[in-house]
Structure 1
Amino acid sequence: MIKRIRQYTIVIVLVTITLVTGCKKNFFDTQPDNQLDIASIFSNREQTEQYWGGLFTAVPDIWDQPYAQLWGAISDELDISNNTDATINAINSGALTTSTTPQHYLNYYVKIRQCAIFLENIDRNQEILALDNGAELIKRYKAEARFLRAYYYWMMVKLYGPVVFQPETVGNPNDNYMIPRTPMDEGIARILSEMDKAYADLPEDYYQSNSAEVDPTQRGRINKMIIAAVKSQILLYHASPLYNGNTDYASFRNYDGTLLFNQVADQSRWGKAAAAAKAAIDLADKNGKSLYKVNHADPFRAAFLSSRDLYWNGWRTEGIWLRTTSALRNWEIRAAPRAIAGTAYNYTAPMQEVIDDFRMANGKDISQDPAYDETGYTTKGSEYYVAGTNNMYVGREARFYAYITFNGSMIPGAPKAGMSRVEFYSTGNSGSKGAPRDWTVTGYTVRKNIHNTFSVSPAVNVARPAMLIRLAELYLNYAEALNESDPGHPDVLKYLNAIRNRAGLSSLDATLSQHEIRESIRMERRIELSFEGHRYFDVRRWKVAGDPGYYQGGNYTGMDMSKGTTLSDPEFHTRTVVLKRTPWDKKYYFMPFGQAEMDRNTQLVPLPGY
């Protein structure tokens, strides 16, 4: 076993040395280079900065769905069953084991080790130190590496629960790598401490010299705003029931008996989370950030454009952490209906349960509004759908039309010649009869973040960064934490209503109970942050994944894709069970480490249930 551990460590060292490429301006998207030894890397400025750039490459791209970022496709948001993926199918079918678990931890541990190597060696670079601002440059590089190391641990904690923390100093093959999991609270404390150290050595943002303009070549670099925003997320999770007094894990201990989850909920954590969220919002405000809004004479149109165009026009205003390279074409081509020019894949499919959660334009749930109707068809078209569209899609809130493509909706990008609408019924232009697998199982596809000029062929793609964190998330973080720590505080509704009002919904009032506001905040996260990688984690941290309205498993419905020959065909517009996933089990709150990882580290206790 010791021999295997040493061999594994040598492999990690070699991987670390060879995956150190990149360039200063494109640090999210580096390419392989020649093998170099550590001395060569850290004696040359260009090679050192390439190594630094390589530290960013494991930062998730939220639009690289559904494979690299598979969270929507394994939650109650999306289905991609018409495009097979072994890992996603294993999770949704209940076949998740230590052999089929996603092995994101392998890449994260490589990056964590690279960060440690960088921190130990960057001060040796005399070429950088000789620059006029060399010492300051190195200080910032080190702070970014320190943050990234902590951030990658956080990414693992969200997925796998308590994880193994490597020694901060770079070891050698003879060291003991039999390391137990770090208890959850201790791990979170270590992550936050490292982020605080990084925060002290970084600017609020990277501005051009003697200017209030952000330097476009430095977008995506870690700054104080980013760290404050990430800390807001961490503290919100740490206050939530999955992390705070989780008695379901009372027996989850290391082999020496160390308890891995605290057993008594600490209510004060919500106050800390609220304070962190407010500090992040205030820092963003100070640096010119605001909710993106489009002015228009028609308030509903303004809400629609604000929600739709946010992803390509609003990132400068609302974006806190930007990923300057993103797999947007992959997202758009998978989500776009076949009515788009070229051959789109047409399979990123929201369930009917998602559709039903979007409110009516008056802010009411569909169950509360007597005007909601699934039996008739509108005789009047609009900017969002054509005449003949089912009434269930009429009179919905603005975000529904910005985020969802449905039968009868306008084509979200550049249309094929002669086409003016999306047809999901069986014989329609995006229906099941027209392609062997490029059709949506549910009768819907995602419209969110498909540019209105997108085309598969000829290829038209509008380049834009991905917003890993945006101001709206911070508003919702603050509202949630404050509602739990200080219910009735006016800021709860102030920040919640800011999100609602931007979407064209009326303000909630203070007559609502704490529980009612809690449910409203959760619904806002469901809708506002839909398909952006939050839902999978939210329902887990709230510990409601087995509850009605949040249930992560079982049967999901949609329209009957096997039926329909016209736009207004009632046979298509029939709620049908289209997906059957494994029933929810508490063991799914976290994912297990792979069996090979536990074989290599015999102190790594298995997750309960696996």
Structure 2
Amino acid sequence: MTHHIFQKNILLLALLLLFTAGCKKGFLNTVPDNITTLKDVFTNRSMTEQWLARIYNPMPDMWNQPYSIPWTGQCDEVDYAWVQPGMNSGAITADNANPSYWNSYYQTIRQAAIFLQNADQNKEILAQPGGEQLLKQYKAEARFLRAYYYWLLMRQYGPVVLMGEEPKAPEDDFQIPRSPWDDCVNYVLSEMDKAMPDVPVLHMNPVDPTQPDVTQTGRITKPIILAVKSQILLYSASPLFNGNTEMGNFKNQDGAALFNASFDKEKWKKAADAAKAVIDLNRWELYTVADADPFRAAFLSCRNLFFDGWQKEAIWIRTNSDHVGNWERHCSPRCANGSGWNGIAVTQEMVDIFRTADGKAITDNSSGYTETGFTDAATPYYVSGTSNMYHGREPRFYVDVTFNGSVIPVVPENGQSRVEFFFTGNSGKNGAPRDWPTTGYTARKNIHPNTDFRSGRSFSRPAMMIRLGEIYLNYAEALNEYDPGNPDILKYLNKIRNRGGLPDLVAGASQAEMRKQIHLERQVELMFEGHRYWDVRRWKVANTPDQHQGGQFHGMNIEKGSFLSDPEFHKRIVAFTRAQWDNKFYFYPVPQSEIDRNKKLVQFPGY
């Protein structure tokens, strides 16, 4: 980060950050009043706590799509109707790379450093019962969060500039190069380890210490730190960062390499051990719903996970996701009561990865899958007359995707019984200037079936930033790379498959085949949750035919169709085309203004 962020009056910057940060409910819903000096802030308990609360505020909410968190629409999962990120067209440059979190996260990193430097002044906190430990906890939270924002920058920009322990003064030297990737990872992990002893396993109610304090939900705990470390170590063990010789031209100005080109198998062991450490806490369980019909049980388990299941499965949550309402409206078809915006379009490539109900790929000749004809059976998921290509698919398909003939995902408009994406249908292209999906599908996951746009009825719920299902997949992936054939690989992979209604995979597959199955399971289980964009990059598969992130993407022919079972609509066509993959898309460019100010800060090659 460069000197322009810091003003001689540090307090003015602090005020700006405190008053312009978006508010959140509960712990994050307070703003300091009448601040005049840093001493005022850090000698007043309430103000100090509010400063800490603001450090939490920039944490991303993956359901804030498509505007602030566009990763789902920058990979092969969906196409956004209203927003086209520059990476999709190839127009991304160092001057127009959005979203750019470089400055905002560094500002928050500085706020955390100011907190760590000044919090010990607070005698009001120290005078409280247990005040010394409470202050240690607050500092540990700030230390972890500072490391976490560094991690978010690393994931987006690659190796970053490490600013050191103390916030720099305006007259200090801000000509600082990037640190090599491994150094960045080691720093972030060491900071999280330093924070670990002073945060609780669970925040308990001060009035009744036997009960958890729900008002502190989302604040840092030991399990959260362990789970974040699992993510970091998994990424750092992956092919993009581990033995990647293609990054040899990414160097600092002094010639120092920013990526270690040597493969280290032990990184996979560290990732596996980190995931297993979370699992072994035995604090969570995969959320399931019981039903006499196993298919229905799997459907409800995966659908209701986002409404009720977070109480059992969520490890780290962002309380009261303020943006889930926009997500629901963006995804819902126009035949929703009060009208959906109908514009987050799932690609045919995603539709095709869902297996049949018995777990077979649709390309398997024995699967029974066909793209000809229409079913005369109605189910809880689609009406009679729906294309056979949507008949008999695995339960998560009906959780994640709205298709032509599917039941309406929210409260329907009066008289409407089904979604019609064909040209003249109730949600087709002919009915609106732009509120239609380019592919003939919309996203469905995390849309509450009782949401009613006309009456304004909605259902508040948190966003799960990390959940147990992800950790199981982290563990299976890392263990397969380090110790292929280990029985835990199938044990934890099959837990995810079984919850999703699929049968066990059996032992005996090669490491490569198991890798393929694990990657597929991540793609299905974590769809739209903000993982796919990063996964295809860390795996270095973004330019492979099966996982391509550029070029042509497919869907149904939304220009055709005048009735539900019209074959003219149900034809695969190229729905949209993106820029061909370029290796510079592995990372975002640092804003050019930062490159201009910090002469030692090198740009990622290609920008």
Please give the TM-score of this superposition, normalised by the length of structure 1. Answer: 0.96
Select 2:354's aligned residue among 350, 358, 363. 358
Find the counterpart in structure 1 of residue 87 from structure 2. 91
Q: Does 1:336 align with 2:332?
A: yes
d(CA) in 1 for partners of 2:3, 2:315: 41
Amino acid across the alignment from 1:221: R
CA contact (8 A) 1:18 1:32 kept: no
Amino acid across the alignment from 1:237: Y
Please state whether the residue corresponding to 2:537 is helix, strand or coil.
Answer: helix
d(CA) in 2 for partners of 1:5, 1:69: 25
d(CA) in 2 for partners of 1:438, 1:32: 42
CA contact (8 A) 1:18 1:36 kept: no
Select 1:500's aligned residue among 475, 497, 502. 497
Q: Give the deviation of 1:34 after TM superposition.
A: 5.6
Find the counterpart in structure 2 of residue 134 from structure 1. 131
| 1:204-263 Cα shifts (integer Å, max 9, x gaps) | 111335665432111000001110000001000111011111111112111112110001
Select 1:323's aligned residue among 311, 318, 342. 318
Find the counterpart in structure 2 of residue 189 from structure 1. 186
Find the counterpart in structure 2 of residue 277 from structure 1. 275
Q: Does 1:173 align with 2:174?
A: no
CA contact (8 A) 2:337 2:411 kept: yes
CA contact (8 A) 1:16 1:110 kept: no
Find the counterpart in structure 1 of residue 544 from structure 2. 547
Q: Give the deviation of 1:343 after TM superposition.
A: 2.1
Q: Give the deviation of 1:24 after TM superposition.
A: 10
| Further displaced range: 97-106 or 436-445 | 97-106
d(CA) in 2 for partners of 1:153, 1:12: 25
CA contact (8 A) 2:27 2:216 kept: no
Q: Does 1:441 align with 2:438?
A: yes
* Structure-2 change in CA distance of 1:12 and 1:227 (3 Å): farther
CA contact (8 A) 1:347 1:440 kept: yes
Select 2:266's aligned residue among 265, 268, 278. 268
CA contact (8 A) 2:24 2:57 kept: no
| Further displaced range: 30-39 or 475-484 | 30-39
CA RMSD in angstroms, aligned pairs only? 1.7
Q: Give the deviation of 1:15 after TM superposition.
A: 2.7
| Further displaced range: 338-347 or 527-536 | 338-347
Find the counterpart in structure 2 of residue 481 from structure 1. 478
d(CA) in 2 for partners of 1:395, 1:47: 57
Q: Give the deviation of 1:167 after TM superposition.
A: 2.4
* Structure-2 change in CA distance of 1:380 and 1:11 (3 Å): farther
* Structure-2 change in CA distance of 1:31 and 1:428 (3 Å): farther
* Structure-2 change in CA distance of 1:431 and 1:169 (3 Å): same
Select 2:107's aligned residue among 107, 110, 114. 110
| 1:162-203 Cα shifts (integer Å, max 9, x gaps) | 011112201211000010000000010000000001111111
Please state whether the residue corresponding to 2:501 is helix, strand or coil.
Answer: coil
CA contact (8 A) 2:2 2:594 kept: no
Structure 1: gaps spanning 5 or more residues = none
Select 1:292's aligned residue among 264, 270, 287. 287
Please state whether the residue corresponding to 1:521 is helix, strand or coil.
Answer: helix
CA contact (8 A) 1:139 1:201 kept: yes
Please state whether the residue corresponding to 2:315 is helix, strand or coil.
Answer: strand
Select 1:240's aligned residue among 229, 238, 241. 238
Q: Does 1:537 align with 2:512?
A: no
CA contact (8 A) 2:336 2:453 kept: yes
Please state whether the residue corresponding to 2:464 is helix, strand or coil.
Answer: strand
| 1:447-488 Cα shifts (integer Å, max 9, x gaps) | 100001111111111011110000000000000000011111
Alignment of 1:246-261 (within 5 A): 246-261=244-259
| 1:263-299 Cα shifts (integer Å, max 9, x gaps) | 110011101110000001112x1x3x10000010000
Please state whether the residue corresponding to 1:20 is helix, strand or coil.
Answer: helix
Find the counterpart in structure 2 of residue 227 from structure 1. 225
Q: Give the deviation of 1:12 after TM superposition.
A: 9.2
CA contact (8 A) 1:427 1:434 kept: yes
Amino acid across the alignment from 2:575: V
Q: Give the deviation of 1:325 after TM superposition.
A: 2.9
CA contact (8 A) 1:143 1:197 kept: yes
Please state whether the residue corresponding to 2:397 is helix, strand or coil.
Answer: helix
d(CA) in 1 for partners of 2:536, 2:380: 34
Structure 2: gaps spanning 5 or more residues = none
| Further displaced range: 5-14 or 516-525 | 5-14
CA contact (8 A) 1:18 1:33 kept: no
Please give the TM-score of this superposition, normalised by the length of structure 2. Answer: 0.96
Please state whether the residue corresponding to 2:509 is helix, strand or coil.
Answer: coil
* Structure-2 change in CA distance of 1:6 and 1:65 (3 Å): closer
* Structure-2 change in CA distance of 1:191 and 1:294 (3 Å): same
Amino acid across the alignment from 1:9: F
CA contact (8 A) 2:227 2:315 kept: yes
CA contact (8 A) 2:240 2:539 kept: yes
| 1:8-60 Cα shifts (integer Å, max 9, x gaps) | 42189433343236999734456686654211111211111111110011111
* Structure-2 change in CA distance of 1:425 and 1:596 (3 Å): same
d(CA) in 2 for partners of 1:6, 1:330: 37
Amino acid across the alignment from 2:469: A
* Structure-2 change in CA distance of 1:32 and 1:383 (3 Å): farther
Please state whether the residue corresponding to 1:580 is helix, strand or coil.
Answer: strand
Q: Does 1:40 align with 2:36?
A: no
Amino acid across the alignment from 1:302: A
d(CA) in 2 for partners of 1:499, 1:6: 48
Aligned length in residues: 600
d(CA) in 2 for partners of 1:122, 1:157: 27
* Structure-2 change in CA distance of 1:107 and 1:33 (3 Å): farther
* Structure-2 change in CA distance of 1:473 and 1:565 (3 Å): same
Select 2:386's aligned residue among 384, 389, 414. 389
Amino acid across the alignment from 2:70: L
Find the counterpart in structure 1 of residue 76 from structure 2. 76
Please state whether the residue corresponding to 1:605 is helix, strand or coil.
Answer: coil
Please state whether the residue corresponding to 1:42 is helix, strand or coil.
Answer: helix
Amino acid across the alignment from 2:249: S
Q: Give the deviation of 1:573 after TM superposition.
A: 0.6
Find the counterpart in structure 2 of residue 61 from structure 1. 61
Q: Give the deviation of 1:420 after TM superposition.
A: 1.1
Select 2:518's aligned residue among 507, 517, 521. 521
Alignment of 1:461-472 (within 5 A): 461-472=458-469
| 1:465-524 Cα shifts (integer Å, max 9, x gaps) | 110000000000000000011111110000000000000100001121111111000000
CA contact (8 A) 2:361 2:367 kept: no
